[in-house]
Amino acid sequence: MGLYENMLSEPIRQLALREAITIPAELSVRDAVQGMREKKLGCVIVVDEGNKPLGMFTEAMLRRLLIDNRTALDDSVQNHMARQFPCAAIAEPVVTILEAMQAENHRFVCVVDEKGQVAGLTGQKGLMEYVADHFPQIVLTQRAGVEPPRGQREGA
Amino acid sequence: MSDQKRPDPEKFQDPLENYEPREYSDELERALAEEPVTSIHTQPFISISEDTPVHAALETLAGRDIASTLVVDQQERLVGIFSDRDALDKVALEYDAVKDKPVSEVMTANPIHVHEDESSAAALCVMAAAGYRHVPVVAADEKVIGMVSPQRVVEFLLEHLDGDD
C-alpha cells in the first residue's frame, strides 16, 4: 500500500505522539516558557479541569510577545494563547495532520482521545518521522550530519 | 610505438548487461531516492551575519513571520541557525542580558545540513532522525544556497504522492 493510502487509513495513534505539556489557564507565560524549556517542547496546551484543551501557546507566539510586549511574560497564558488551534482525535486518519500542515503550516497538532481529553501532541516532526518510517531503506540510511568524502585522497 | 592490444569487439562483454535498475514501490520513493535535495523548494531563505545583535535577529523572525534564519560569516558560509527554539531556550527569559549580544552567542552553531547534490531523502532524514525542523542546503564551497522546511517537504510529498488530490 502506498504512503497516501496508508495516511488515509491509519489512525493518528500510529504516530509517535509526544507527551503534551498541559497547564492551567491562570499559569503565567513565564512559567509556561520554563516548562517548555524543561520538556524541550515548543508548545503547551492550556486545559480545563477535565484535561480538555482550551488553547495552545507556542514558541512562535512567544517570538511575537518578545517583540511586541515583553511585560506579557508575567501575564496569564490564557491572555495570549490561541483559542483556535489545530486539534485532532486520535482515531482520525494521519492525513489529517498532512492537511493541517498544508493548509495553515501548523507546527503542532493537539491530539485528543475519545473523551475529548488531551492524549498527546504531534505535528511536523511526527509527520516527517511517519514518512521516514514508510521508506526506511531510502531515508534512514542517509549520512545525516556527516561530511561528504573530501576531494583529496589521504596518504600517498 | 608499441602495439596496443585492443579488445576484440566480438568478445566484448558489457559490464552492465546484467544491471537491473532499482524498482521503487511508488513515485514518492523514487523521488526521495533520486531527486536531489534542490528539487525540494529551497528558496527563498533568509540569512543574517553572525554579528547581528540578538534583538535584530528576533525582529527579523518576527517581521517576516518565519521560524528560523540562517547565520553566515563574511564569506556567506553557514555558521549557524537562529530559530524560535533558540529564542525559547536562550533569549526569552534573559532578553535584557542578551539582546545586544551577537546572535552567534545564542544561535545553534554548525547545524546539521545537506549538500546540494545529496538526495531529497537526506533532508528528510535530518528532520526525522536528527529531529531538526529546518535543514540548510550548502554548495560545494559551503556557501548557503537554500533551506528546507517542513512546509516545503509537504509540498514535495504532495507533488509525488500517488493518490487523489
ipTM of the complex: 0.86
Residue B10 belongs to some domain of the structure = no
Chain A contact for B128 (CB, 8 A cutoff): yes
* Structure confidence by residue, pLDDT tens digits, B108-123: 999 999 999 999 999 9
Residue B7 belongs to some domain of the structure = no
Residue B8 belongs to some domain of the structure = no
Residue B15 belongs to some domain of the structure = no
Q: How confident is the model at residue B92 (pLDDT cuts 50, 70, 90)?
A: very high
What cell numbers appear for A114 in the block? 475519545
CATH number of the domain that residue B73 is part of: 3.10.580.10
On the 0-12 / 13-18 / 19+ scale of CB atoms within 10 A, A105 is: middle
B151/A3 CB distance under 8 A: no
**pLDDT at position A146:** 55
Which of A66, A128, A145 has its CB closest to that of B150?
A: A128
Q: Number of folded domains in chain B? A: 1
Rounded to an integer, the average pLDDT of B142-150 is 92
Supply the range of the domain harboring residue B63.
36-160
Residue B56 belongs to some domain of the structure = yes
Contact B161/B28 with Cβ under 8 angstroms? yes
| pLDDT at B162 exceeding the cut of 90 | no
Cα A76 to Cα A35, A44, A79, A86, B4, distances in angstroms: 14, 13, 6, 21, 87
Tell me which H or E stretch contains B34. helix B27-34
Residue B48 belongs to some domain of the structure = yes
Residue B144 belongs to some domain of the structure = yes
Residue B11 belongs to some domain of the structure = no
Round to whole Å and give the CA distance between A65 and A59. Answer: 10
Residues of A in contact with B84 (CB under 8 A): 42, 59-60, 62-63
Tell me which H or E stretch contains B27. helix B27-34
Backbone angles phi, psi at B136, to 5 degrees: -70, 150
B32/A135 CB distance under 8 A: yes
Chain A contact for B25 (CB, 8 A cutoff): yes
Contact B129/B44 with Cβ under 8 angstroms? no
Chain A contact for B99 (CB, 8 A cutoff): no
Chain A contact for B135 (CB, 8 A cutoff): no
Residues of A in contact with B85 (CB under 8 A): 42, 59
| pLDDT at A152 exceeding the cut of 70 | no
A63/B84 CB distance under 8 A: yes
Among A6, A28, A63, A133, the strongest candidate for a mutation testing the B interface, having the largest count of B CBs within 10 A, is A63
Q: How confident is the model at residue A148 (pLDDT cuts 50, 70, 90)?
A: low
Residues of B in contact with A109 (CB under 8 A): none
**pLDDT at position B161:** 81
**pLDDT at position B164:** 40
What cell numbers appear for A132 in the block? 521516514
What's the count of helices (H) and strands (E) in chain A, helices before strands? 6, 6
Among B23, B85, B124, the strongest candidate for a mutation testing the A interface, having the largest count of A CBs within 10 A, is B124
CB < 8 Å from A in window 73-92 of B: 84-85, 87-89, 91-92
